[in-house]
A and B are shown apart, each in its own frame.
Chain A
Amino acid sequence: MIEADPGAPLDIHRATVLPEWIDWNGHMNVGFYVVAFDKATDTLCNQFGVSWEYTREKIGMTFVIEAHVTYDREVKEGDPLRITTQLLDYDAKRVHYIHAMYHATEGYLAATNELMLMNIDFATRRSAPWPDWAMPRIEKMAEAHKHLPRPAQAGRIIGIKRKQP
């Protein structure tokens, strides 16, 4: 298991916009923002020891049960991405967190992705408590992140906002 990164927010995930992520509008397609964010979730799960090996060894899986994305600015093919992750809350079998995607060299915010991730038992494919080794790592990250300001994009309700008359 890797050594846990103490950063708040977690700021270790980097990626590049692949050619196959571009759609007919000439920018990264809405679905591939979520592909890019899901890889940042793998980076987060790796911090907790519940990533690829966890599923390959048939111990467990993690399923996203809810997701919210804000698309703030376009990114193009080849653009470098920096994704940070802030833990917002957790319980015995879930973690609630938000990713922020930045253009890594220009620095602007491209998108955010708030997620609810649930631990799943491999055999039953049903929810189950986090394994013993993961829970202290989740608690430690929650402790490190709890004083971060809550991002404005967290907890949003979707709707068309009208100007008051």
Chain B
Amino acid sequence: MSVILPYEMPALVTTAPLDVHRSTVLPEWVDWNGHMNLAFYVTAFDQASGAFMRNIGLGRRYVDGKHGMTFVLETHVTYDREMKGGAPMRFTTQLLDRDAKRVHLFHEMFHADEGYLAATNETIVMNIDFASRKSAPWPEQAAERLEAVWTAHQHLPRPAKAGRVMGLKKK
């Protein structure tokens, strides 16, 4: 008994990986080391997760209409290169896995002008029922759109930085 959403769905983007989210490093994201603080990479990536969710029909209207929410359960970030205040960011997002109420996403953040990889973020996002604040199946339209995205993404090569275990590699 999944939720039926009463609003119109946006045009579905099935390019693989998803390559639609763009952003800029805000001045208040810069710390005393003179670069974007680690926490705000997570914020920036969370906005890229938001872009993925909007694409499957679960944007702001989903929460504002009190239909549901999406919560991050777990997240893993590799910090590959510094980003300064004002730097333009380009994000790509690959769907690695999905089930009835979760998605497993892999984001890459690039400096949009210089092209270098700044960070990666692997994350699990779960659908949440608005009233109970407990996990719930994807709304029907979102589940259909998620399957269309999965069809487009499932054959992409698995990113080298996915599935990492943190530790000191000793010689």
Q: Which of B42, B64, B74, B79 contacts A66 (CB 8 A)?
A: B79
- In angstroms, Cα B125 to Cα A44, docked, is 30
Q: A63-B79, A157-B163, A158-B104 are in contact. Are A38 and B74 (CB under 8 A)?
A: no
Stretch of B2-10, B16-24, B32-40, B144-152 with 4 or more beta carbons under 8 angstroms from chain A: B32-40
Cβ–Cβ < 8 Å partners of B167 in chain A: 89, 96, 155
Asked if A127 is at the interface of the complex by the 8 Å CB criterion, the answer is no
Q: Which of A64, A71, A90, A160 contacts B97 (CB 8 A)?
A: A160
Q: Among the interface residues B38, B71, B165, B168, which one has the most CB atoms of the partner chain A within 10 A? A: B38
A67 touches B163 (CB 8 A): no
The distance from the CB of A83 to the nearest CB of chain B, in whole angstroms, is 14
Cβ–Cβ < 8 Å partners of B64 in chain A: 24
B163 touches A158 (CB 8 A): yes
Size class of A's contact patch?
A: 35 or more
Cβ–Cβ < 8 Å partners of A94 in chain B: 168
The distance from the CB of A54 to the nearest CB of chain B, in whole angstroms, is 10
Q: Which of A71, A114, A125, A160 contacts B104 (CB 8 A)?
A: A160
Interface set, chain B 53-90, CB cutoff 8 A to A: 60, 63-64, 69, 71-79, 82
Size class of B's contact patch?
A: 35 or more
- In angstroms, Cα B133 to Cα A55, docked, is 42
- In angstroms, Cα B82 to Cα A159, docked, is 27
Q: Which of A30, A61, A115, A157 contacts B72 (CB 8 A)?
A: A30
- In angstroms, Cα B39 to Cα A89, docked, is 22
Cβ–Cβ < 8 Å partners of A90 in chain B: 168
A66 touches B78 (CB 8 A): yes
Interface string of B82-124 (1 = CB under 8 A from A): 1000000000000001110010100000000000000000111
Asked if B155 is at the interface of the complex by the 8 Å CB criterion, the answer is no
A52 touches B79 (CB 8 A): no
Cβ–Cβ < 8 Å partners of B102 in chain A: 160
Asked if A70 is at the interface of the complex by the 8 Å CB criterion, the answer is yes
Cβ–Cβ < 8 Å partners of A71 in chain B: 71-75
B166 touches A25 (CB 8 A): no
Pairs A–B under 8 Å by Cβ, sample size 10: A25-B69, A32-B43, A55-B33, A63-B33, A66-B78, A66-B79, A67-B79, A68-B166, A91-B168, A154-B166
Interfacial residues, chain A to chain B (CB-CB below 8 A): 24-25, 29-35, 37-38, 52, 55-56, 61, 63-71, 74, 89-91, 94, 96, 114-116, 125, 154-160, 162
Task: Name 20 extra pairs, CB < 8 A, besides A31-B42, A71-B75, A94-B168.
Answer: A25-B71, A29-B46, A30-B42, A30-B46, A30-B75, A31-B39, A34-B38, A35-B37, A37-B39, A38-B39, A66-B78, A67-B79, A68-B77, A69-B74, A74-B133, A154-B166, A155-B166, A156-B165, A157-B165, A158-B76
